[in-house]
Structure 1
Amino acid sequence: MNRLFIIVGLTFFISCKTQQINENISGVWIFESEVNDLHLNDTSRFFVHQYPIIYDFKEDGALLFKHYPKKDTIYSWLQKTDTILTINGLDYTIHSLNQDSITLIDYNRADNYWLTFKRPKETFIDYSKTEIEKILLSNIWSTDDTLNRKWATRFEYFPNNIMIYRYRIFDRNLNDSADNLQLERWGVAEYKDYYFIYNYTDMYGNGNFESINQIIDINPNSYTISDSNVNDKKAGFHSIMEGVNNEHKLKKIIGEWISYNSENRTYGKYIPEQEIEYGRVGLFLGDLHMTFKEKTISLKIDALEPMIYHDWQLSQDGKTLLLEYHFDGSESGGIQFEYATILELNDTKLKIRLFNNRYYTGKEKPNQYILNLIQEFERVE
C-alpha cells in the first residue's frame, strides 16, 4: 500500500510539474539571441546573433513561427520531458525556464548553440500599427544614451523600409573626419496585443544586422523599446527634428547637372591597382552628367548607357540622398539601395559625397569606372 501511494504520488508530482512547464512555455516569445557555446563568455556580444523572429507556442501543439518580413510557418511542439522540448521533430534541451525567459541548447548542428527567448511585456499602446509607422517616419531620431550609442545619435526612417544612421567617423577615403551613413532595413509588426520594431537583411545585400524588440511606449516625440543589451533592459529614443517640408529643396534639385572628374580629386583610398593594370577597371576622367526628374535619376558618361535609378528620396533635413536601383527595371526584379551625402545645394551648385563611386560600363574592358568620391555639379541651363 505504501509503495502504491509513493508511485501515485510521484506520478501526480511529475504530472503537475509537466503541466507547469507546459504553461510556462505556452504563449508568445521574442527570439532574443543565438550564440555558439564556444563564445558564451564573450562579453563583447560580437558573436551573439539576433533574428526578427516571434514564436507562439499554442496549447494544441502548434507552433506559429513568424520570421519578419517573411511568411508565417506552422511547426509542431511537444514537451517530451522536464528537460526536453521537441520542435518539429528536433529535440532541444531546456537549460532554464521561468515566466520571463527560456534558454534552450541546440545539439542538432555540428556546433552546439544556446537559444534565448524573452516574454513580451504587457503594455498599453494607444496607437495603431499605421499610426506608429507615421510617428517614426515623421521625425529624425536620436538615442537617449548618447554616451554608449554614438552611432545612433541621428537616424531617420524612410517609407520604403529603409533607415539610415548618420554619425561622425574618421573617413580613411577622405583622410579626414566626415559623416558616415549606414543603411538598414526596418519594419513594424503587430501581433496579438503587442507591437514590435525589427531590422532585417534582404537577399540583395541591403541591411547589415537583424533584430526584433517590443515597442513598450511611444508618443509623437519619443519611443521606448525592450533591449536586453542594456542594463535596465530598455532603450529610449527622442525626436531631434520633426518632419519638415522639403518641397523647395526637391524643386531646387530637379534638372540637369554636370561634374568634371579629374585626378586632382580623390577616388578614395582603396584603388584596385592590379585591376586597373589589366584594364578591367579605369579611373574616370571627364564629365559626369546627372539628371534629376520627379521619379528617376540618371547618371551618364560619354556614349555609354546611362545608369538609371528608378526612385529617389531626400531626407527630412536635406542631407541624405537615397536612391533605388531596380535590377530589371521593376521592383519585382530586386532593388539595390544606394545613398549619398549632400554637402551643398543651391540654385547653381550641387556638391555630394558618393558612397558607391563605381560606374558599370556594360563592356568587357573596362567593365567599370571609378568616379571621384566628391562630385561638384553645376547646373546645366
Structure 2
Amino acid sequence: MRSSEEIRGNLAAAALLIRSGQAASRRTLADLMRMSPTTAGFYVDHLIRSGHLCESGLEQGKMGRPKRSLSLVAEAGWFAGIEFNAERIQIASVDFSGQLITSQSYPLLADATAAQVMSRIATLITAMDRKTPGPLLGIGVGAPGVVDPLRGLGLEYAFLTGWKNVPISSRLATRFKVPVTLENNLRTIALAERWFGGGRQLEDYVILGPRSGFGIAIMNQGRLLRGSHHAAGEIGRWPWSPGQPGGEVHDALTAPAVWRRLSGASPRTRQPADLHTALQVFSSETGPVWQQIITDYACIIGQLHLLLDAQAYFLHGPLTALGSRFCQDISAATVRLMPALRSIPPQILPSSLGDEAGALGASSLAMEKWKPDAEK
C-alpha cells in the first residue's frame, strides 16, 4: 500500500512532467514514470478531482489510437518568486501551468539593511497576493551570496548591511503559511534557463553572473551543484592579480567594475542608476581597454571550461548590454590563451531572459517543490 508521502511525491512528479511538456497523455506519463497505465491513471484521476489537471481534446500519434491530452489548470493556484541583490528586488508570479503572470522590479536604497530587505520582500508578496487570482501555493527565494537551502538561511552577503544568518524561509513561511524554498539567486537563474530560456534542451550549462558581485551557477547532468558548504560558484573570491596585487576577481570583472574600466571612471565613482543602458554605449568598443577586459574574462571562463566542459555558458546581468560580440570575443580569446580549447571552444551566449530571470527561476523553484494533499 502506498504511503501518503509517496502518493504526494508521485502526484508532484506527474504535474512536473505534464507542465514541462514531456507527458501529454496517460500513456506517455506512465512510460516516463515507469509505472503501469492503471497506476498512472490513478494519479491523473486524483489531479483531475483536485482541480489541478484537465483532460481534453485528442492527441493523434503516428500510430495507434488517438490519446486524450493532459494539461494543467492555470487557475489552480500560483507561485511567487523573489530574487534580489544589493540594488533591487525582483518579484514574479507564475500560474500553476508554469506561465508567467507578472514580474516587477523595485529598487533598494544604497544603504539598505537586512531587516529592511526582508520587510520589503514581505510587503511585495502581500501586495501581489491581493491582486493575483487563486491561492498562493508556494514561495521561492533567490538570495545573493552564500545560502543554506536546507535550513533556509541567508548565510553571508557582503553587499547588504547585516546580511548574516538571516532566517529567510522561516520568516516568510510564518507570515504566509505556505512552503518557502530558498536557493542562491544565480542557481534560481539556472532554473529559469531550464524552464523559460536556452537551457531547456541542455543537461550541462553554467550561468555567468557578473553583477554587483561575480558568481556562477552550475547545472551538471540536470542537477544544480551546490557544494558541501553551499558555496559552489563563488568565483568572485578567486585571487586576481592583474594590476591589483592581493585583489579578487570581483574587484575587476563585476558589471560596475567593467563600466568603470570602459568609462575611465575612478573606483570611487558611483555607478549609474541604469547600468545596462550605461554599458550599451560601449557595445561597439574596440580599444585597448575593451581588449584587456576580453582577455581578463577569457582567462576566467577558459579555466572554467577546462574544468567543467559545459555545453553552454549563459551571461546574465547588465553586461548583456555589450551584446553577442562581447561573448564571441571572449570565446575567441579563450582559444588564443589556451590552445587546448581549440577543438572545444566555450559557447558563451547572452541570455534571452532579462532582469526577471532570477524571480522567474525562484517561482520555478517553488513550482518544482510543490506537493499536493493526498487523499485519505
TM-score range, shorter chain: under 0.3
Q: Give the strand-richer structure, 1 or 2.
A: 1
Q: Give the helix-richer structure, 1 or 2.
A: 2
Q: TM (normalized to structure 1)?
A: 0.24
Q: Which has the higher contact order (CA 8 A, sep 6+)?
A: 2
Q: TM (normalized to structure 2)?
A: 0.24
Bigger Rg over Cα: 1
